[in-house]
Amino acid sequence: MAPGTVVGMTRNDTSRGAGSGGNAVEVRGLVKHFGATKALDGIDLDVREGTVLGVLGPNGAGKTTLVRCLSTLLRPDAGTARVGGYDVVAQPRQLRRVIGLTGQYASVDEKLSGFENLYMIGRLLDLSRKEARRRGEEMLERFSLTEAAKRPAGQYSGGMRRRLDLAASMIGQPSVLYLDEPTTGLDPRTRNEVWEEVRRMVSEGATVLLTTQYMEEAEQLAHELTVIDRGQVIAGGRVDELKAKVGGRTLQIRPADRAEVPRMVGALAQARLDGIAGATADEAEGTVNVPIISDEQLTAVVGLLGSRGFAISGISTHLPSLDEVFLAVTGQKASAPQQDGADTDTDALQEVAA
Amino acid sequence: MSAATVSAPAAAAPAREGRIGLRANLRHIGALARRNALQIKADPESMFDAVIMPIIFILLFTYVFGGSMAGKGHEQEYLNYLVPGLMAMQGMNIAMAVGVGVNDDFKKGVMDRFRTMPIARSSVLVAKIVVEVGRMLVATTILLGMGFALGFSVSTSPLHLLAAVALAMVFGASLMWIFILLGLTMKTAQAVQGMAMIVLMPLQFGSSIFAPTANMPGWLEAFTKYNPLSNLADAVRHLLRGGPVAHSLWMTLAWAAAITLVTAPLAVSKFRKKT
């Protein structure tokens, strides 16, 4: 039997394969064309072992193509990529032993039950029958799917299917996990469950490369961020660094009386609270918008307005949208998604395959 | 069988590391075949072609053509000619379904998962063939059962019968590679079906499956002589009903080997590159 055949605890494989200064994923100058389209146009990025890298970008930015290159589904045209120390082009077999992939579209067999899906993956990862059964049941339990274990996956709700997909990716305890827009299309409750699981995997030592269109998701999960657009990296760094650039959150205050909006803006400008500048009036909405970067600032602003006797009827904060992030880091709007929208990457792939 | 034998021989040690061993490969094929079998279990209607078609074919041909072929009241004689021919045809029909199924199946996300796992990519295709040969065996059993009920008889021995069934399976499996290749190449399942019909019809009817070729025009007789389905039908016929078996048997095995050697590596490489 070949030396690498026993999978079981693949996590150990990283230490064997890596030895490259603690980066589980290293991408240099990665290029992938689909005909005339440059889906990846020289991507550089690193994911440190045991951390989450968020890859943020609009539809058609090249996120899915990147993940497919890193999981040996696509062969890059130029550049190099190493995962767990293995080269994606030269050592695909070894590389597949250390990765797990959960895509935007759940990759489970819809005709098979949840349990049979997981059991099959276990067997394909060379677990014994007994071990595959045990691990399958363990994963079903962990992802709250035990009750649905015997139902065909095709009858699962979107959230259940995504959880099953995550469970399938984790059967082999991969040391590097790719999550390609794991919560796109999920309701908030299910989204939170997926986030919880991702945090748990990271706490157990997994390295995660997460693609997302949502700043909030990146902020919730990622240690570092890489923003890509049209196949190129346009910004990168720690999440707080990037947030500082973007201006963190926006605090939106709605006075009981709309006419007070200008007076509130004036009061805030006069008070010169620490780090707070640029309160603006949104006359159409009847709100005051204040960029803030900490909870202390939120308290300070609300406290000040209260002490001046303003009547406030509503307060909300929201994270900058992807558009605002792009505006802040590039000074221009994100490139409009191509005509075929959400499926740009997939469509391009199918055309190439045909 | 493993992908490794298909790809260029890699002498360097790092490339050999991570190669899938034979036992692991068999285990993977087993797990994937179980998947295909469970899919059939979840969708029993998918067995209709294997269960119903042999019955329809044997009744149709025996009673519609049998009287004219062998003379009214002599359908029995035609039955003895027909059953071995239908055994040969069976493989084609099942193989066609494989192409359609593969086209459908490979559009699903689960294939991405298989392709990112440390398994030989050929194992996905081999597992499909294993299960389809099983389906073929079911169809052949039903065909033979129906044939015996109507009065078909084997004039040689049970051993010859087994050999005939095995030969039909081997040839059917080689045909499946063609249709898997088609299924991986064509864009839609409908296109696969259309293409399959274009290939199938002349091969099925321009053969010795339904009628002896002696009464056909010269050009057609020449075609039937090189039609592998004629070789298979003749081989099965001679195995079951007696007659010189060697030539048609070897021709059939040669065809099966040639088809597999050409199409199997192409299909695996197509599957590997398919994105």
A11-243: CATH topology is Rossmann fold (3.40.50)
Q: pLDDT (tens digit, 9 = 90+) per residue, B110-162?
A: 888 998 999 998 999 999 999 999 999 999 999 999 999 998 999 999 999 99
- Using a 10 angstrom Cβ sphere, with 0-12 exposed, 13-18 middle and 19 or more buried, the burial of residue A7 is buried
Number of domains in chain B: 1
Chain A residue closest to B117 (CA)?
A: A96
| Highest-scoring range by mean pLDDT, A174-178, A289-293, B13-17 | A174-178
CB contact under 8 A, A96 and B38: no
Chain A residue closest to B28 (CA)?
A: A124
**DSSP H or E stretch at residue A288:** strand A287-292
Q: What's the Cα-to-Cα distance from B249 to each of A83, B156, B243, rounded to whole Å? A: 52, 16, 12
| Fold matches, A11-243 and A249-318 | no
Mean pLDDT calculated for residue range B197-224: 85
**Residue B228 in domain:** yes
A29 Cβ contact partners less than 8 Å away, ≥ 6 residues apart: A42, A43, A44, A78, A79, A80
Which of A86, A101, A120 is the best substitution to test chain B (most B C-beta atoms within 10 A)? A120
Task: Specify the pLDDT at position B17.
Answer: 58
Give the number of A-B residue pairs with CB atoms closer than 8 Å.
Answer: 109
**Residue B7 in domain:** no
Find residue A254's DSSP bridge partners: A314
CB nearest to A168's CB, from B35, B42, B113: B113
CB nearest to A1's CB, from B21, B35, B43: B21
Q: Which residues of A are less than 8 Å from B108 in CB distance?
A: 107, 109-110
Span between the terminal Cα atoms of chain B, in Å: 22
Task: Specify the pLDDT at position A331.
Answer: 59
CB nearest to B43's CB, from A99, A111, A121: A111
Q: pLDDT (tens digit, 9 = 90+) per residue, B21-56?
A: 889 999 999 999 999 999 999 988 888 888 898 999
CB contact under 8 A, B118 and A97: yes
**Residue B4 in domain:** no
CB contact under 8 A, B42 and A91: no
Task: Specify the pLDDT at position A344.
Answer: 38
Task: Specify the pLDDT at position A333.
Answer: 57
The minimum CA-CA distance between A73 and chain B, rounded to whole Å, is 6
Q: Which domain holds residue B72?
A: 20-273
Find out whether B173 and B127 touch, Cβ atoms under 8 Å: no
Q: Which of B123, B139, B125 is nearest to B46 (CA)?
A: B139
**Residue B236 in domain:** yes
Q: A26: number of CA atoms within 13 Å, CB side?
A: 13
| Highest-scoring range by mean pLDDT, A5-9, A205-209, A283-287, B199-203 | A205-209
Q: Which of B224, B243, B227, B223 is nearest to B235 (CA)?
A: B243
CB nearest to A107's CB, from B32, B43, B113: B113
Least confident of A34-43, A244-253, B5-14: B5-14
Q: What 8-state DSSP symbol labels residue A334?
A: P
Class level of CATH domain A249-318: alpha beta
- Reported ipTM: 0.83
pLDDT over 90 (residue B248): yes
pLDDT over 60 (residue B1): no
Secondary structure tally for chain B: helices H, strands E: 13, 0
User: Taking the domains of chain A in order of start, what are their residue ranges?
Assistant: 11-243, 249-318
Concatenating the DSSP letter of every residue in B17-66 gives TTPPPHHHHHHHHHHHHHHHHHHHHH-GGGGHHHHHHHHHHHHHIIIIIH
Confirm whether pTM is higher than 0.95: no
Q: How confident is the model at residue B10 (pLDDT cuts 50, 70, 90)?
A: very low
CB nearest to B18's CB, from A2, A73, A101: A2
B270 in reach of chain A (CB within 8 A):
no
